[in-house]
Amino acid sequence: MASALLLVFAVATLGGAGLGAAFDPNPLQDFCVADPTSKVHVNGQPCKDPSTVSAADFFFPGVDKPGGTASHRYGFSALSVDIPGLNTLGASHARVDVTPGGVFPPHYHPRASETAVVLEGAVYFGFVTSYPDNKVFAKVLRKGDVFAVPQGLVHFLHNNGTEPAALYATLSSQNPGLVLLGDALFGSGLPDDLLAKTFLTDTETAGKIGAKFRS
Ligand SMILES: *[C@@H]1O[C@H](CO)[C@@H](O)[C@H](O)[C@H]1NC(C)=O
């Protein structure tokens, strides 16, 4: 009896620790504005001297316009909204622009849930639940619509309309991580025969797809 109780306690404790580790830690102060010059490595970035902090540390202008890094392969560009004052506060933001016909292909963020609001245009946006259901929850979103993606689930968007589309995304981690499924599988150097078996196809087809990711 005692050992059974102990086992239940151990499992509950381990489960709790696992759950806790899936979210950013709670802050211990009002803010910890990132000091990008520090050479100290901590969980997040070290804090700037609070007496030197100003409103500019919590500010980022211009997300009404496209910007950031373009992925020509997929037809989107992503602008990371870099706010030093969000350091340690468990959040990050980005503006994503997608050209007509462009996609943000299936991907997931290992450490964050996401909420996205459409600023311009219309997109087909959704996520897929995990095995064994693999159920798609997706909708056509228009300007002013918001959609949420649970942590760690594969999601995508397709601008299948004729106008450029823009979204503003908020993620529940300072460092959400990004795994693009196509790139992770075909652009990583996994052997073609393994990829062929994974996609129930032949090695030649797997090699042909992979070559495009590696070029
Ligand atoms: C975009 O794709 C979705 C899902 O297939 C569809 O419901 C919607 O009508 C499409 N939009 C356009 C503009 O074709």
Q: Render pLDDT for 44-87 as a digit per residue (tens, 0 to 9).
A: 899 999 999 999 999 999 999 998 889 999 999 999 999 999 99
- Separation between Cα atoms, residue 113 and residue 117, nearest integer Å: 14
Q: Residue 166 and residue 121: Cα distance in Å, rounded? A: 7
| Whole-number Cα distances in Å, 58 to 53, 149, 167 | 9, 26, 21
Nearest ligand 1 atom to the CA of 161 is 13
215 and 204 housed in the same domain: yes
Q: Report if residue 53 sits inside a domain.
A: no
How many structural domains is the chain composed of? Answer: 2
Query: Could you tell me if 152 and 206 lie in one domain?
Result: no
Same domain, 192 and 211: yes
What is the Cα–Cα distance from 65 to 81, expressed in whole angstroms? 12
Do residues 108 and 150 make contact, with C-beta atoms less than 8 angstroms apart? no
Provide the domain limits for residue 208.
179-215
Binding residues for Mn(2+): 107, 109, 114, 155
Q: What is the pLDDT of residues 182-191, one digit of tens each?
A: 999 999 999 9
Cite the annotated binding site for oxalate by residue number: 109, 114
Q: How far is the CA of 168 from the centre of ligand 1 (A)?
A: 21
Could you tell me the CA-to-CA distances from 85 to 38, 44, 78, 81, 164 in Å, in that order?
15, 12, 20, 11, 31
- Pocket probe for ligand 1: among 103, 118, 123, 124, the residue whose CB has the most ligand atoms within 8 Å is 124
Phi, psi at residue 51, to the nearest 5°? -70, -15
State the CATH number of the domain containing residue 169.
2.60.120.10
- What's the whole-model pTM score? 0.86
* Same domain, yes or no: 186 and 85: no
Q: Does one domain contain both 131 and 213?
A: no
pLDDT for the residue 22 = 63
Q: How far is the CA of 210 from the centre of ligand 1 (A)?
A: 28
State the pLDDT at residue 49. 95
Query: How many residues in total does the chain contain?
Result: 215
